[in-house]
A and B are shown apart, each in its own frame.
Chain A
């Protein structure tokens, strides 16, 4: 067996080939031969090393890990002499190597199981060969060589994979409908709109492991009989879009997209379509309208996209994470996959922890883990050791769940029964200093703005709810507001055309149910128990604690504080805007909020 002390990787990316990579490689072999180095140094092709926009073909030399660019065939003899004989690095041609480690996805905590996130930061997403090294496209090979369309659909059905976009519809069943639908051509769509604020699981997968999604769409396309797919990616993710395009191009170059894939006779190709900033375009029919070139407005269902979707043809639309699960299920098998998760939902789910929790960011756990384990064991509990108040799950249309739900085992049905949703997997943790009425108002503000306006219950109803909530937070709440809110919520949920309207009242409904006392305090006592709503709080300086150091007066943005040095300072309530800066800068804790 040969032993090589050094390996040279030559990028054979088409851009590098145009710049002379093949000639460069031949020259390298010739020079190494001339110096009697061929048994010590190995040369291998690879897909991509750096940015092909750099000059000249790229090479990477191990074990030093030196990345050389801007080489021409004239430089090769000096390079071989300098680097491989004399042992020095030719600095004028060396370039910094792209770091692939990811600081947004941390090392997993003990209770996590990483599947969808396992490759992020471990492989270079812009080099298809690294995905292939970790068994990428093996599942596709198995599917095209050994499995019929019905086999694939049955496998996904048996896996109990549920749509990760939020609704949790069994993916196998969705594919079965599209497979059985009449019409041609059929389409696969990937929903990469990820509109929930604070959710970035899909973005990480698209940026760090794009081929897992491409492979999932290929397998799905084969199963349902589609030959064309679209990835609808929000415009706010330019890196994801460019990484996807690089990955698609490489997959085409390697014969994994296009005609007669792996000699199977199956054709499939993909295109990226960008969104334009609308939250509602995460809703599948609005998304389809957007791809068609219309304004993103949802349509009545039935007919569902599986029967009549893109351009009226049978269309299967799934979330990024749903597709990313597919190759792993096929390659690693049902026994492995179904060993994780709960009775009704198998596998893992990514979550984005946000808010007042110690460790924010992405995690991945099997279904059935309790909220307590997720927030306290993995999330590290509430920041600053404060008390836990509630967690909102699923994004801006999720319900807020107080302490008594902490032992809830996270699953689609359990969250639904508790008055919340799984959604995309966002979890906003709130501590004791959160005003739940303000939270309801905050999320209603978001969903109201994103309402497309097509149906009256959502367009007008959410605006009315927002007005009422804003009045309550401003201290102008009336007793009839609470029954009015309840009526509005139930009507909007019942009568809205799409999930946005149906979900928008959820935060209001759940906070009315679990935190009614806060609403009542705002309305009847004009008091905000959490001391958040600006119109209902006032700032005072305690005589006992104030040392007259003047720090607060100097930092007040509206000059509302007066006082002599070493004398108790006073806040003028007519000027005070309740911004809270004086409380933050005071070193003696003398500022009190009532």
Chain B
């Protein structure tokens, strides 16, 4: 089920895992223990395909995570420190999104079954943000089990649970194990109920103990004893597991590219429809930009009409930066992006889904801004001939903006860095869009503005190709 050989994971100068070798057979229940910083979460994230090893071999279900990641993700469930849920969506919407992402043929029935099992039916239409920590934890577990995984990875699942909830979790894990599911969980709790049949102890990124649990009550003493030893033993044979192989249903069919894109767009639009926070922020910011430019440049009469395309595109660019930043920050808030990465979705689908959602938001902004600018600047922007230019300009902006926002959201500077990264990249696009819009407003023919719209098209094609090819590198840990 899990085959890890000589695995190392380094984060720059810090080595989180060093020479880890671990074999877990189908149907085993393994507990991974160790002090803070031992590398437990790092190992689990590598197994969950959220991270790539620096060196060493890793195989799950006999498959290579690097080349067969989606086949692995289809059979793997992961409960993280974070809920990987979208706060702005309800419990039912969250599960519906993940059911689409996993391509579940019986999505609605499975969701109803899990909502019932985890006692969430009564509050299935309540936004996650307004529910209790316990309910979020139950929903997170439902999400991890939604696609009936053969292997379940749980990172500190007992943290923050009261005794009754902890008992319920143990009961659930016992049932899952009895049904043939392989379990690997990390824990700080050395109480016997949290332990499986085999214990692995990590210290400073190395395995210092790996043996079946003969006596669970003696484990805390053994754990302390092993941690007090200074150096690791030279070689640890993997613990034997003679459990019979588990019987499982075949994994459901993977989600097709258009359906995966639609799942992401529908999820984003549902979150935005509920909160309307991105659109309203973008619109107010763009309106303020129009106002500020009018004051600063003293735009009146013919001067205002001549400057309108430039001012409008600047307002769209600035407001777009705000919207893109928020759109990706929403993914980061409770680990939603990790939820996306855990699903068996092509990275291309992730990119197209996010970019399309952002494009629709920006087009909605323009639908509101064009009449406003027409009124404020006394210039007729409500012309069909302008639509291709606005579409091409916005498409390029959303294409490169989604890529840059995905980078910026993972940096320390975040919102501050996004405009610094993005605006120099879109300079040629903005120049072309402004010139093309001005030309058409002046009554020029398409042939006379050919250089500008050609530049827009070339820019869109180049930047979209770069984004599609590189987005996967940006979203992976």
A binds B: no
Query: Hey, which bits of chain B sit against chain A, CB under 8 A?
Result: none
Query: Hey, which bits of chain A sit against chain B, CB under 8 A?
Result: none
